[in-house]
Amino acid sequence: MAELRSSDLNILLVEPSAMQRKIIRKELNKERVDAIDEAGSVATALERIHAVKPDLVISCLYLPDGSAMDLLQQIRESDETSDLPFMLVSSETRHSELDQFKQSGVIAILPKPFNHDHLVTALNSTLDLLSNDELDLEFYDPASLRVLVVDDSRMARNVIIKVLGNLGIDQITQAEDGAEAITLLPQGFDLVVTDFNMPQVNGLELAEHIRNSADYSHLPILMVTSESRQTHLSNVAKSGVNAMTDKPFEPATVKQLLTRILEA
């Protein structure tokens, strides 16, 4: 199958400001993205999505009839669009406001105004999410890898599972938090991919449990986190995780990290 390129993407741009739409469209055109539909509200965006499913939704935060989160939640609740890549463009910087989007599995959060490199990175992440690029491992067959994905957000788990599936990994077990993950460990896994912030038992406590266990101490751990506080990240690093990546993550980065920790 031919390699998917930015020029192949069909994008829905959700932005009530004609000026902002013009600016974003101009930046997309620089990457030869010409198939761009537009909407100025949540209701119109949903109509467009149900008429023709786009490859990517790019949305501002505030809309006349709601917010980007209202739109994203309705997209994620539909079986037909639950895996639709979503990009937020916002001048919002507060962690409390942006974390809900990170936990919902957005492909990227771009600042407003953003530079062209930001957009290129986000488009490349979308292409990676839509493409199959199987891991090339010396010691493992990706199809035989048993992976435990731990995250209290169903939407975030779905994105991680989508990325793993594109890498040729389909033997995936899900856990909603660290407590459930601990009960599942006896099933036997080759890799744990876990969130940091979770109820009951968080990712740090799960990693420490694994490292202190005689049966599972060898198990590779990839931490996917929206946490930005340096103290927390330092504690995670000391817990023995093999690698960490941010939310939202770039699929290409996940592939590189998995290759490194599985071949170590």
Task: Render pLDDT for 174-220 as a digit per residue (tens, 0 to 9).
Answer: 999 999 999 999 999 999 999 988 988 999 899 999 999 999 999 99
Q: Distance between CA atoms of 52 and 121, rounded to whole angstroms? A: 25
The model's pTM is: 0.84
Q: For residue 173, count CB atoms less than 10 angstroms from its CB and return exposed for 0-12, middle for 13-18, buried for 19 or more.
A: middle
Contact of 88 with 110, CB cutoff 8 Å: yes
Percent of the chain past pLDDT 90, that is, above it, reads: 61
How would residue 247 be classed by pLDDT, with cut points 50, 70 and 90?
confident
* Average pLDDT value for residue range 239-260: 86
- Give the HSE-up count for residue 44: Cα atoms under 13 Å, Cβ half-sphere: 14
Which residues lie closer than 8 Å to 24 by C-beta, 6 or more apart?
Answer: 13, 15, 58, 89
Domain 6-130 and domain 142-262 have a common topology = yes
Residue 1 has pLDDT above 50, yes or no: no
Residue 263 has pLDDT above 50, yes or no: yes
Pick the CATH number of 142-262 from 2.60.120.380, 3.40.640.10, 3.40.50.2300, 3.65.10.10: 3.40.50.2300
Q: CA geometry: angle at 168 spanning 155 and 150, to 5°?
A: 35
pLDDT value of position 136: 83
CATH number of 6-130: 3.40.50.2300
pLDDT value of position 229: 54
Contact of 129 with 251, CB cutoff 8 Å: yes
pLDDT value of position 232: 53
Mean pLDDT of the chain: 90
pLDDT, one tens digit per residue, over 83-129 is 899 999 999 988 778 888 988 889 999 998 888 999 999 999 999 88
* Average pLDDT value for residue range 71-88: 92
How would residue 3 be classed by pLDDT, with cut points 50, 70 and 90?
confident
Pairing of strands 62-63, 66-67: antiparallel
pLDDT value of position 170: 92
Distances (CA, A) of 170 to 44, 58, 164, 167, 174: 35, 29, 7, 9, 12
- Report the 10 Å Cβ neighbour count for 90: 19
Q: Where are the beta strands (DSSP E) in 181-237?
A: 191-195, 221-225
pLDDT, one tens digit per residue, over 139-182 is 788 899 999 999 998 888 988 998 999 899 999 999 999 999 99
Residue 228 has pLDDT above 60, yes or no: no
What are the sequence ranges of the domains in the chain? 6-130, 142-262
